[in-house]
Structure 1
Amino acid sequence: MKQYDLITILGPTASGKTTFACHLAYHSDAEIISGDSRQVYRSMDIGTGKDLGDYMVEGKPIPYHLIDIRDAGDKYNIFEYQHDFHKAYTDIRQRGKMPILCGGSGLYIESVLRGYSLVNVPENKALRESLQNKSLEELTALLASYKPLHNTTDVDTAQRAIRAIEIEEYTKSHPAERNEFPPLNSLIIGVDIERELRRQRITNRLKARLEEGMIEEIRSILDKGIHPDDLIYYGLEYKYVTLYVQGKLSYEEMFSQLEIAIHQFAKRQMTWFRGMEKRGLHIHWIDYAIPMDARIAMVQKLIEEK
């Protein structure tokens, strides 16, 4: 195992990657580093699918990192993630353990595997105020004037689009502080789940999360004084459930639109992972339907082959 810097387990939402990673960690005496852009936020548990119960395998707690490290309402970014990742990564390696990076946020994962050099862009209050009354369509058109819109998550909400414009405007005229982290040699495992099964699991999981209290969780966050726009910023569950709580969507509209949005998100995740392969990162795809013990044996064999 020491020939690899780390192991990466990735896959689309509802593919069971966290359960897989935790069982692999149990058998490998490893620790998990989350590669999820929203699980960093405290109190946002059900909607982000933290599933912290998965981190207990056969009665043994699996150590995890980069979950619950920021307050709901914060605007965590990939530049900060790189710093936090490398702190956790170095700590784990210095203790003689193997890190397992697990998540579905392709950009976050690729940024640390490839050692992206990123810009730390400060908030531009004047620019934000000048853009706050523009529609999402207007913001999208403005952002497109800076660059081709390959990453559609940039324009999922008005706040995301404004942040993307802020970054483009800053980098156009400022020599910026940059991260310089080396690329990492990772064994990358992708969870390959059949499309219709993935869609079924997404729908079933959405129903389960609503029954588990996702609406109440979001109401509780709003009751703490978090502005609705700050939750809508996070997209998906936090966007549509917040709109429902505000009375802007009926329950049926919320469920239907959110279900569609999650399916679209899973499709975008797979597109990103395929792009990672085209950019030179080899992903070993393992079928979700294979029993857990067999999947772990396959990973261990790949490690030995190295």
Structure 2
Amino acid sequence: MITVLGPTASGKTGLAVALAAELNAEIISADSRQVYKGMDIGTGKDLADYRLGNRQIPYHLIDIEKPGAKYNLFRYQQDFNTVYEDLAGRGVLPILCGGTGLYIEAVLKGYALSPVPQCAALRKKLSHRSLSQLKRLLIDLKKRNHSHMHNNSDVDTTNRAIRAIEIEFHQLHHPLDRRMLPGIDSLIVGVDIDRDLRRRKITERLKARLNEGMVEEVRALLNGGVTAADLMYYGLEYKYVTEYIIGRSNYEEMFRGLEIAIHQFAKRQMTWFRGMERRGFSIRWLDATLPMQQKIEQVREWIRIANK
């Protein structure tokens, strides 16, 4: 398998699609929000990017869940393994592509958790705590569990933080629920983008997505029955745009707050990927500004070396 990872706005999807076309591969998404139907602009699906000329590059684990649902790592592990086994059975090379480091690491390690039930008593106890208080509790639990299962990008709302704490509490008291799945040998390619360039691209892309109808997309989800609380659970675009729609902020406040939040998110993504390297993963980094053909040639060379 080939894994293509990188922060938001780095161009990782374009690289994965070009590689898939070159190698007759199919793409498995590793994005925790692109699984939701109807959440297109805000999650940056850019489905048109999966078409090169008249050729449609097959992709998986996008648009597989209804909006408002709570998709999680356990579900992703199941869905990934189903797709992976199908591709292996057909002799097709999988390219795992995305920016959700937790999903990528869990798949490559072969580490999975059993489903964790909700605990009403714990949720009630935590319901009045602030996000900063919840984060401090989560950090303490992670230390006790020796866990890497959550980072700040997973807990940017109180609901997500409470769920993360719930999972860590469960694992602390039910360690036998952990189990190993077969790990996957993968060439890991990281798209490295200069911080200033990344910031410019994030701002430009945010403006473009707002012009493409991101506010209208969120309004349609709300009108379709998805609650404001459920949308804000997803963080980033859905949190800030929902707050704007329901009157908690004006347009300028929404834009500036969201811009800052996405910059911070991209920084946290890179922190996770660097952490993966410290935890023993070998990531081969490509300069995001290289011409696409040069990127493909470099990946081909890495494949050749790995297959020696």
User: Which residue in the other structure is 1:280 paired with?
Assistant: 280
Conservation of the 8 A alpha-carbon contact between 1:35 and 1:104: yes
User: Which residue in the other structure is 1:214 paired with?
Assistant: 214
Q: Residue type of the partner of 1:153?
A: S
CA offsets per residue over residues 61-116 of structure 1, 9 Å max, x none? 00000001111111111111111111111101111110000001111101101111
Q: Residue type of the partner of 1:92?
A: L
Question: Post-superposition shift, 1:175?
Answer: 5.3
Give the distance between the partners of 1:22 and 1:179, measured in 2 at CA.
Answer: 33
Percent of pairs identical after alignment? 60
CA offsets per residue over residues 228-286 of structure 1, 9 Å max, x none? 11111111001111111111011111100100010011111111111111111111111
Moved more, 179-188 or 246-255: 179-188
Question: Post-superposition shift, 1:143?
Answer: 3.2
User: Which residue in the other structure is 1:3 paired with?
Assistant: none
User: Which residue in the other structure is 2:90 paired with?
Assistant: 95
SS in structure 1 of the partner of residue 141 of structure 2: coil
SS in structure 2 of the partner of residue 264 of structure 1: helix
Give the distance between the partners of 1:154 and 1:191, measured in 2 at CA.
Answer: 21
Give the distance between the partners of 2:137 and 2:280, measured in 1 at CA.
Answer: 32
Counterpart mapping for 1:130-209 below 5 A: 130-148=125-143, 151-174=151-174, 177-209=177-209
Conservation of the 8 A alpha-carbon contact between 2:153 and 2:268: no
Conservation of the 8 A alpha-carbon contact between 2:153 and 2:269: no
Give the distance between the partners of 1:163 and 1:104, measured in 2 at CA.
Answer: 21
Give the distance between the partners of 1:97 and 1:304, measured in 2 at CA.
Answer: 18
Pair 176,243 (structure 1): closer, same or farther in 2 beyond 3 Å: farther
Pair 275,141 (structure 1): closer, same or farther in 2 beyond 3 Å: closer
Count of residue pairs the alignment pairs up: 301
1:13 partnered with 2:22: no
Counterpart selection for 1:118 from 113, 127, 145: 113
Give the distance between the partners of 2:28 and 2:283, measured in 1 at CA.
Answer: 18
1:57 partnered with 2:58: no
Conservation of the 8 A alpha-carbon contact between 1:121 and 1:176: no
Question: Post-superposition shift, 1:179?
Answer: 4.3
Conservation of the 8 A alpha-carbon contact between 2:26 and 2:58: yes
RMSD: 1.6
Give the distance between the partners of 2:242 and 2:275, measured in 1 at CA.
Answer: 32
Question: Post-superposition shift, 1:30?
Answer: 0.2
Pair 154,48 (structure 1): closer, same or farther in 2 beyond 3 Å: closer
1:270 partnered with 2:270: yes
Give the distance between the partners of 2:66 and 2:177, measured in 1 at CA.
Answer: 25
* TM-score, length basis structure 2: 0.93
Q: Moved runs in structure 1, 4+ residues, more than 4 A?
A: none
Pair 196,122 (structure 1): closer, same or farther in 2 beyond 3 Å: same
Pair 122,21 (structure 1): closer, same or farther in 2 beyond 3 Å: same
SS in structure 2 of the partner of residue 147 of structure 1: helix
1:24 partnered with 2:19: yes
Residue segments in structure 2 that go unaligned for 5+ positions in a row: none
Q: Residue type of the partner of 2:285?
A: W
Q: Residue type of the partner of 2:103?
A: Y
Conservation of the 8 A alpha-carbon contact between 2:193 and 2:287: yes
Residue segments in structure 1 that go unaligned for 5+ positions in a row: 1-5
Conservation of the 8 A alpha-carbon contact between 2:203 and 2:259: yes
Question: Post-superposition shift, 1:181?
Answer: 1.2
Question: Post-superposition shift, 1:145?
Answer: 4.5
Counterpart mapping for 1:58-77 below 5 A: 58-77=53-72
Give the distance between the partners of 1:24 and 1:144, measured in 2 at CA.
Answer: 38
Conservation of the 8 A alpha-carbon contact between 1:33 and 1:64: yes
